[in-house]
Amino acid sequence: MLQLSHLSAGYGRTTVVHDVDLQVPDDSVVAVLGHNGAGKTTLLRTVVGLLRPRTGAVLLDGEDVGRLRPSARVRRGLAYVPQGQQAFGQLTARENLQVVADGAGSGAATRTAEALDLFPALRGLLGRRAGLLSGGQRQQLAIARALITGPRLLILDEPTEGIQPSVVAEIEEAILTLTDAGGLSVLLVEQHVGFALAAAERYAVMESGRVVDSGTGGVEREGLVRAAMAL
């Protein structure tokens, strides 16, 4: 599904991500772990097209998409939920979904309904301005919005960061529901090592912009992975 080879990226003169190789096979979940400032978000921003690769390639189904604009990558099956519960704050929750559904072709209505089934609490909030929702509600809205384009690769940047604990469980459950359903690959950036390993088939640990450890997932490996992250 997604293949990164020798990928480097950064801002201005500083290179933040160095020579990263990473694969997300079809229908699988890959977790990227690492401390704050390790370069995880920068890596994802390069994958979705908000940043140009300095070197290396971003391959989507074998096609180099490194020069495509983000919206064009979305049309090729990628969806992105950025860090920080982002929403179109001036628009209502309903409009946040509509604006994506408008351009998502046939089936968008069905997928909108499915996304709302995943987060039933949103149904009662559709008329409200997204900017007035709580962080957790906005994150649920953000995931729902990402699903409306019918992605084959879902990219999540710390989906439960800074969210009240009651909603964290809901969001984690929704992510597991999505990955269990099949037909969807997920690239998940997480600080919660336990959840990441439970959800993922493979993991990679980033440190100072490089992948310093990687392996197969599974909760039983938490100790090992934590040890790798402490290095």
Partner 1 sequence: MDALYSQLFAGLSVGSVLLLAALGLALTFGQMGVINMAHGEFMMAGAYTAYVVQGAIADAGVSLLVSLPVGFLVGGLLGLLLEVTLISRMYTRPLDTLLVTWGVALVLQQLARDVFGAPNVDVRAPSWLSGAVDVLGLAVPKARLFIIGVAVVSVVALALVLKLTPLGRRIRATVTNRDLAETSGISTRATDRLTFFVGSGLAGVAGVVLTLLGSIGPTLGRNYIVDAFLVVVAGGIGQLRGAVIAAFALGLLQAGIEYTTTASIAKVLVFVVIVAFLQARPQGLVQVRTRSLA
Give me the least distance between CB of 191 and Mg ion, in Å please.
Answer: 9
Query: Applying CB under 8 A, which of residues 138, 145, 152, 202 lies at the interface with partner 1?
Result: 145
The single residue listed with the structure tokens 């946040």 is 96
Give the DSSP H or E segment for 118: helix 108-118
Is the Cβ–Cβ distance between 186 and 201 less than 8 Å? no
**Binding partner selected for residue 16 from ligand ADP, Mg ion, partner 1, none, CB under the kind-specific 5 to 8 Å limit:** ligand ADP
* CA–CA distance, 15 with 18 (Å, rounded to integer): 7
Query: Applying CB under 8 A, which of residues 5, 23, 27, 50 lies at the interface with partner 1?
Result: 50
49 binds partner 1 (CB under 8 A): yes
Burial 127-165 (b: 16+ CB within 10 A, else e): eebbeebeebbbbbbbbbbbbbbbbbbbbbbbbbbebee
**Binding partner selected for residue 133 from partner 1, ligand ADP, Mg ion, none, CB under the kind-specific 5 to 8 Å limit:** none
Give the single-character DSSP code of 184: -
Give me the least distance between CB of 70 and partner 1, in Å please.
Answer: 4
**Binding partner selected for residue 90 from ligand ADP, Mg ion, partner 1, none, CB under the kind-specific 5 to 8 Å limit:** partner 1
How does DSSP assign 81-111, residue by residue? E-SS----TTSBHHHHHHHHHTTS-TTHHHH
Query: Applying CB under 8 A, which of residues 25, 103, 183, 194 lies at the interface with partner 1?
Result: 103
160 binds Mg ion (CB under 5 A): no
Is the Cβ–Cβ distance between 73 and 166 less than 8 Å? no
Closest to ligand ADP by CB, 39 vs 77, is: 39
74 binds partner 1 (CB under 8 A): yes
Give me the least distance between CB of 223 and partner 1, in Å please.
Answer: 36
**Binding partner selected for residue 15 from partner 1, ligand ADP, Mg ion, none, CB under the kind-specific 5 to 8 Å limit:** none
Give me the least distance between CB of 9 and ligand ADP, in Å please.
Answer: 9
41 binds Mg ion (CB under 5 A): yes
Strand-pairing partners, residue 59, are 3, 64
Question: Judging by DSSP bridges, how do beta strands 14-24 and 29-33 pair with one another?
Answer: unpaired
102 binds partner 1 (CB under 8 A): yes
Question: What is the number of other CB atoms lying within 10 angstroms of the CB of residue 56?
Answer: 19
Sheet holding 14-24, edge to edge: 14-24, 2-11, 55-60, 63-64
Closest to partner 1 by CB, 18 vs 145, is: 145
Give me the least distance between CB of 16 and Mg ion, in Å please.
Answer: 11
Catalog residues that contact Mg ion under the rule CB under 5 A.
Answer: 41, 83
